Amino acid sequence: MAEIIDGKKIAEEIKLEIIQDTKVFKKTTGITPGLAVILVGGDPASQSYVASKGKACERMGFYSITEKLPADISESDLLACIDSLNRDPKIHGILVQLPLPKGLNEHRVIETIDPNKDVDGIHPMSIGKLVIGLDTFKSCTPAGIQEMLVRTGNDPSGKHVVVVGRSNIVGKPVANMLLQKQTGANAVVTVAHTGAADISKFTKQADILIAAIGKPEAITASMVREGVVVIDVGINRVEDASLPKGYRIVGDVHFESVSKIAKAISPVPGGVGLMTVAMLMKNTLRAARLNAKRAET
Ligand code: GUN
């Protein structure tokens, strides 16, 4: 049976570090880190993610606001909201919860965020710096994956990492992050995706498999080799009439079968999801720090 990579425990460790660092930062600078989260529309999963971000801010000792905007908001009104947060000195980080309702251009929206406040690490400036190995805000879910690997003794250096999925918020940034010639990275990375006739040809070669496909339990035991380390990024709702809420949450990996042959595996829930919030907190403190430094010069 595989060792469980406990995202809850690791996220808690990181949050305790941030609480301490925030106390020192507030004392020495008199500045309270501030995060603004923008939620457009009423998608239930997004509402719950946004609520957990607000709660985490409170615990860290941050100032936070949540802008809840209607699904039919015009793009120019949304951009005006971001622009006003860009200019708000109490706000050091801005996150626009994705996906956005249809009709809003995600790229234009993200590009409107001040790169100095891009604590989500998804602005083209942050992604560009990530790709060429410069210090920047790291996208939260990829950074969470990297921390999970490093803190459990599964350093990716020299390993073959296979990422399944090529999204802009997980697949592409995590692949780029782990291939850098840097500590906690330096992996040989393959990105497999729906363009492959048979993804198992690639997943079977993985020392470390990162599943970010968005399909419930798509990775099964026959698709991986014994001793693989698995990070499951999927958060899928599947109908389950036996439960009061009518659904349960599963990952992109068939946990029951894969956990029998893997060396280590992150569960869903209790895995990557909690790490994403912890890394967002870390980036928000970093944004406040950088802002204070810029003000000094
Ligand atoms: N929706 C799901 N994951 C994320 C994320 O990491 N950032 C944003 N902005 N939206 C998301």
Q: Where in the chain is the domain with CATH 3.40.50.10860?
A: 29-116
What is the model's pLDDT at position 204?
A: 98
Give the residues of the chain that fall short of pLDDT 50: none
* Ligand 1 mutation target, pool 53, 276, 282, most atoms within 8 A of CB: 276
**Could you tell me the distance, in angstroms and rounded to a whole number, from the CA of residue 97 to the centre of ligand 1?**
5
- Which CATH code fits 140-273? 3.40.50.720
Query: Using one digit for the tens of pLDDT, what is the confidence trace for 175-184?
Result: 999 999 999 9
Q: Where in the chain is the domain with CATH 3.40.50.720?
A: 140-273
Catalytic residue numbers read: 53, 97, 120
**Could you tell me the distance, in angstroms and rounded to a whole number, from the CA of residue 48 to the centre of ligand 1?**
12
Query: Using one digit for the tens of pLDDT, what is the confidence trace for 42-53?
Result: 999 999 999 999
CATH architecture of structural domain 29-116: 3-Layer(aba) Sandwich (3.40)
| Nearest atom within ligand 1 for CA of residue 46 | 1
What is the model's pLDDT at position 214?
A: 96
What is the model's pLDDT at position 296?
A: 87
The tokens for 237 are 């709702």
What is the model's pLDDT at position 149?
A: 98
Query: Using one digit for the tens of pLDDT, what is the confidence trace for 219-273?
Result: 999 999 999 999 999 999 999 999 999 999 999 999 999 999 999 999 999 999 9
Beta-strand ranges (E) seen in the chain are 3-4, 34-40, 63-69, 93-96, 160-164, 188-192, 208-211, 229-232, 236-239, 247-250, 264-265
| Mean pLDDT score of the chain | 98
